[in-house]
Amino acid sequence: MEAERRQDLISACRDYLQTRVSVVKRAMDGLKEDLENESKSSAGDKFETGREMINIEWNKLSVQLNEYDRLGNILNRIEEYKPNGNVILGSIVVTNVAKYFISIPAGEISSGKDKFYAVGIKSPIAQVLLGKKAGEKAVFNRREFEVLEIT
């Protein structure tokens, strides 16, 4: 049952990434078109400025694509998750306040009727949770909560 839930959460994170990748690729296609149009219609300094602006935007999008690729690799590692009783990358953590999936920063995701917060391992809440065991307490934003379950 928990393996199934983890797969649901991983799938939700992959869907999140795929949506983001599609948006970036569409933007890159638009930039390619802009670059072709810029080449046809411009001359002189204005042409160089336009090309440079397009290149700057292209580089930003390339960085985003690389980051999404890195996050996809993290999800691949999570698929090999072996619970050890402590909160680690890939853990599903149920607290008395919220449910977390220590994975990638994908925000609120669902598995069945339950809502989870997919958080990256470097996020402040993940940093508080890492290494905790069920029954331990933690403090985040001056609010104490208890780890009820880790799977």
In tens, the pLDDT along 130-146 reads 999 999 999 999 999 99
What is the pLDDT at residue 38?
Answer: 67
Domain that holds residue 116: 92-150
- Tell me if 84 is assigned to some domain: no
Instruction: Round to whole Å and give the CA distance between 31 and 99.
Output: 40
pTM, to two decimals? 0.86
Identify the residue whose tokens are 């809440």: 125
Read off φ and ψ for residue 146, nearest 5 degrees: -120, 140
Report in angstroms the alpha-carbon separations of 127 from 9, 26, 40, 67, 139. Answer: 20, 34, 52, 20, 11
At 140 the three-state DSSP class reads strand
Number of structural domains found in the chain: 2
End-of-domain residue from the set 78, 108, 139: 78
